[in-house]
RNA sequence: GCUCCGGUGGUGUAGCUCGGUUAAGCAUAGCGGCCUUUCGAGCCGUUGAUCGCGGGUUCAAAUCCCGCCCGGAGCACCA
């Protein structure tokens, strides 16, 4: 599991460190956590807190914790498959975790602290209708339940747990400050009832009817797990304020928080709910549908995890949202894949047969480098059919070069265009040096090539042809179609080659 | 409406906490050029922001103060 990629990440981190972590000196060991709800897969936006949390822990020799927050079996219900999908996404991102927790396994803990908070007078069971509570709280007034004595509160809480209250009729609240300028902070809800009969939890079934809300479970876990730094989205800034009241009540020290803005990609990276909806309704083929901003889709398109990491480093921990451009991501990615992508000739846009007259050889095998920086070679053989040599080339190339101009068929020969349409050229020699400064174009033998299926940037299927050498590529490897673009191999078999466009 | 948080060239950021040799750095895009046993990749160069707006403090402000404008987040018995 800790193979070569991780080594690469380590050296990458040395090359480009994150800015110093605030108040790092207050803790003997830095402990961070990433806490997703397993109700969908990870997307580009999730990678920001995930990478920052993981890498900050790594940078200071600390621990990174993965915590599944699956405490809503009703509205944001989790699904068994996502626990594993998220683990896979995280591994791919290079965010291996040191400890893992699942909140639905920790229900007893949340109950215990609930009773402790009630006994300590910092929490109470509220049976007011939501509307009425809101009305009171907006007026900075206490609801009738707030003042009930501890014994009564405890009895009420046990009633919640044992089924004395119906779903929605009672909630555990944390006492804060009814005069707090932000009404959202006043006596926030900590635990509520969800009818287990109609909303079974995917992992623990119908064992519980009282479930913690985000602020309760998260606050208690962060303390119990010794989290020193919480790095999460800015939508949680108010939650930090809320939770501090609980921490104060228990005499705990609240972790240092870093809130970062949303990270989306231009053209609208989709939200979790949109992704789920689209997949349910079959608007998308799956989580790796190229139109999605999910990690699996980005991976499939040929974006390296390392590119995402670099991007996140570039963005830093600013609280403002960032809409990054594909160009930006591609550019970072290109630097990573350029060194590994083997080169091949492919003709997609406008194949045209070019007739080359006076070609002196009946058969020629050219040797080309698989990659300009490496010695490995690939070979293409062309055969004359009768008098002339025929090749596939791109019509646009012939048109651009124009009649009467000399050009170079890369690795093969020099020629002068005699006619653009139909495309005819006259052989002028083999010497590369004679083609200095001339246009170099790629080509393919008339019969010896493979059919190519390409999923282009617009997510459309395009047909073309590609040199046979590509058949030796593994699925998932990067290739560059010379003079055209980078792509990922989805399938490379003798009969059919399927590529996915990555970027220019 | 209320509570927070932001606003630097087309885009994303650095610098702003301890205001002055950086009157604004980096990346990307744009533009121009170079290379060639052979890519529009790469390499090199270059255009581009007076730092949201207005005022104030100061010898000096992107950096401090005030007002305004704009944007985002939150205001769920979601996470």
Output phi, psi for A302, to 5 deg. 105, 15
pLDDT score at A287: 93
Q: Which residues pair with A487 in a beta bridge?
A: A479, A501
Q: What is the DSSP letter of A432?
A: G
pLDDT score at A268: 59
This model of the complex carries an ipTM of 0.90
Distance A270 CA to B57 C1' (A): 47
Q: Is the dihedral of CA A426, A432, A433, A435 positive or negative?
A: positive
pLDDT score at A264: 86
Select from A53, A49, A45, A50 the least CA-distant residue to A21.
A53
Ranges of residues in chain A whose predicted pLDDT is under 70: 1-16, 268-270
Into which CATH architecture does domain A339-504 fall? Answer: Beta Barrel (2.40)
Burial class (CB in 10 A: 0-12, 13-18, 19+), A234: middle
Burial class (CB in 10 A: 0-12, 13-18, 19+), A199: middle
Residues in chain A: 504
Q: How many CA atoms lie within 13 Å of A53's alpha carbon, on the beta-carbon side?
A: 33
pLDDT tens digits along A20-72:
888 888 999 999 999 999 999 999 999 999 999 999 999 999 999 999 999 99
Alpha helices (H) along A163-266 = 214-224, 237-250
Contact A501, A480 (CB under 8 A): no
CB atoms inside a 10 Å sphere around CB A391 = 24
pLDDT tens digits along A380-414:
999 988 888 999 999 888 888 888 888 999 999 99
Into which CATH architecture does domain A107-216 fall? Answer: Alpha-Beta Complex (3.90)
Residues 288-307 of chain A within 7 A of strand B, judged by CB, are none
Residues 21-40 of chain A within 7 A of strand B, judged by CB, are 35-37
Residues 221-260 of chain A within 7 A of strand B, judged by CB, are 234-239
Crossing angle of the two packed helices A305-315 and A80-93, in degrees rounded to 10: 80
pLDDT score at A17: 77
The residues, ordered by sequence, that sit 6+ positions from A358 with a Cβ below 8 Å of its Cβ are A426, A427
Distance separating alpha carbons of residues A196 and A82, to the nearest angstrom:
21
Crossing angle of the two packed helices A237-250 and A214-224, in degrees rounded to 10: 60
Contact A50, A66 (CB under 8 A): no
Instruction: Produce one character per residue of A14-23: b if its CB has 16 or more CB atoms within 10 Å, e if not.
Output: eeeebeebee
Distance A253 CA to B75 C1' (A): 26
CA–CA distances in Å: residue A469 to residues A225, A337, A398, A459, A498: 53, 19, 25, 25, 14
Distance A171 CA to B2 C1' (A): 25
Residues 41-60 of chain A within 7 A of strand B, judged by CB, are none
Select from A236, A242, A38, A203 the least CA-distant residue to A106.
A203
Distance separating alpha carbons of residues A61 and A228, to the nearest angstrom:
13
Distance separating alpha carbons of residues A411 and A369, to the nearest angstrom:
10
Residue nearest to nucleotide B26 (CA to C1'): A314
pLDDT score at A434: 83
CA–CA distances in Å: residue A497 to residues A87, A285, A340, A489: 31, 20, 19, 8
First CA to last CA across chain A, in angstroms? 32
pLDDT score at A409: 93
Contact, A119 CB vs strand B, < 7 Å: no
Q: How many CA atoms lie within 13 Å of A438's alpha carbon, on the beta-carbon side?
A: 24
Break chain A into its structural domains and give their ranges: 107-216, 339-504
Q: What is the DSSP letter of A43?
A: B
Nucleotide with smallest C1' distance to residue A486 CA? B41
Select from A267, A141, A160 the least CA-distant residue to A208.
A160
pLDDT score at A269: 56
Contact, A367 CB vs strand B, < 7 Å: yes
Residues 408-467 of chain A within 7 A of strand B, judged by CB, are 408, 410-412, 432-433, 435-437, 440-441
pLDDT score at A495: 75
Residues 306-335 of chain A within 7 A of strand B, judged by CB, are 314-316, 318-325, 327-328, 331-332, 334-335
Nucleotides of B under 7 A from a protein CB: 2-7, 10-15, 27-29, 35-42, 71-79
Distance separating alpha carbons of residues A369 and A482, to the nearest angstrom:
11
Percentage helix, strand, coil, to 5, in chain A?
A: 35, 25, 40
With H, G, I as helix, E, B as strand and everything else as coil, classify residue A311.
helix
Distance separating alpha carbons of residues A477 and A180, to the nearest angstrom:
56
CB atoms inside a 10 Å sphere around CB A208 = 21
């Amino acid at each position: 599991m800790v193979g070569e990629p991780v080594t690469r990440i380590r050296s990458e981190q040395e090359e480009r460190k994150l800015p110093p972590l605030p108040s790092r000196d207050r803790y003997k060991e830095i402990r961070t956590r990433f806490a997703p709800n397993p109700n969908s897969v990870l997307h580009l936006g999730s990678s920001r807190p995930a990478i920052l949390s993981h890498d900050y822990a790594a940078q200071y020799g600390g621990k990174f914790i993965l915590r599944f927050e699956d405490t809503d079996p009703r509205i944001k219900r989790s699904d068994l498959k996502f626990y594993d999908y998220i683990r896979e996404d995280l591994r791919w991102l290079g965010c291996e975790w040191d400890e893992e927790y699942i909140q639905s396994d920790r229900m007893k803990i949340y109950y215990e602290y609930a009773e402790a908070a009630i006994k300590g007078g910092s929490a109470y069971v509220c049976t007011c209708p939501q509307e009425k509570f809101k009305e009171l709280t907006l007026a900075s007034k206490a609801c009738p339940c707030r003042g009930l004595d501890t014994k009564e509160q405890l009895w009420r809480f046990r009633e919640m747990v044992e089924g004395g209250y119906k779903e929605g009729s009672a909630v555990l609240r944390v006492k804060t400050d009814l005069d707090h300028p932000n009404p959202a902070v006043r006596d926030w809800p900590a635990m509520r009832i969800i009818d287990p009969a109609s909303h079974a939890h995917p992992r623990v079934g119908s064992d519980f009817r009282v479930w913690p809300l985000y602020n309760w479970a998260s606050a208690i876990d962060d303390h119990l797990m010794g989290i020193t730094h919480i790095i999460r989205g800015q939508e949680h800034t108010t939650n930090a304020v809320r939770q501090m009241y609980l921490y104060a009540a228990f005499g705990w020290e609240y972790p240092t928080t870093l809130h970062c803005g949303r990270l989306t990609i231009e053209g609208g990276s989709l939200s979790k709910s949109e992704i789920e909806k689209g997949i349910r309704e079959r608007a998308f083929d799956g989580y790796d549908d190229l139109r999605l901003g999910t990690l699996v889709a980005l991976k499939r398109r040929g974006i390296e995890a390392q590119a995402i990491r670099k991007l996140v480093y570039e963005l830093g921990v600013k609280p403002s949202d960032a809409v990054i451009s594909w160009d930006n991501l591609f550019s970072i990615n290109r630097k990573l894949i350029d060194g590994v992508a083997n080169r091949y000739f492919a003709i997609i846009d406008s194949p045209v047969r070019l007739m080359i007259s006076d070609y002196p050889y009946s058969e020629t095998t050219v040797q080309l480098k698989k990659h300009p920086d490496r010695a490995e070679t690939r070979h293409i053989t062309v055969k004359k059919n009768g008098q002339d040599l025929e090749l596939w080339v791109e019509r646009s190339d012939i048109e651009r070069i124009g009649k009467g101009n000399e050009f170079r068929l890369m690795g093969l020969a020099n020629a002068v265009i005699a006619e653009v349409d139909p495309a005819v050229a006259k052989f002028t020699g083999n010497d590369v040096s004679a083609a200095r400064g001339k246009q170099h174009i790629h080509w393919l033998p008339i019969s010896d090539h493979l059919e190519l299926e390409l999923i282009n940037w617009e997510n459309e299927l395009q047909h073309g042809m590609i040199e046979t050498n590509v058949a030796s590529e593994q699925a998932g490897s990067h290739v560059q179609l010379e003079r055209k673009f980078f792509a990922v191999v989805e399938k490379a078999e003798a009969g059919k080659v399927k590529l996915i466009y990555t970027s220019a």
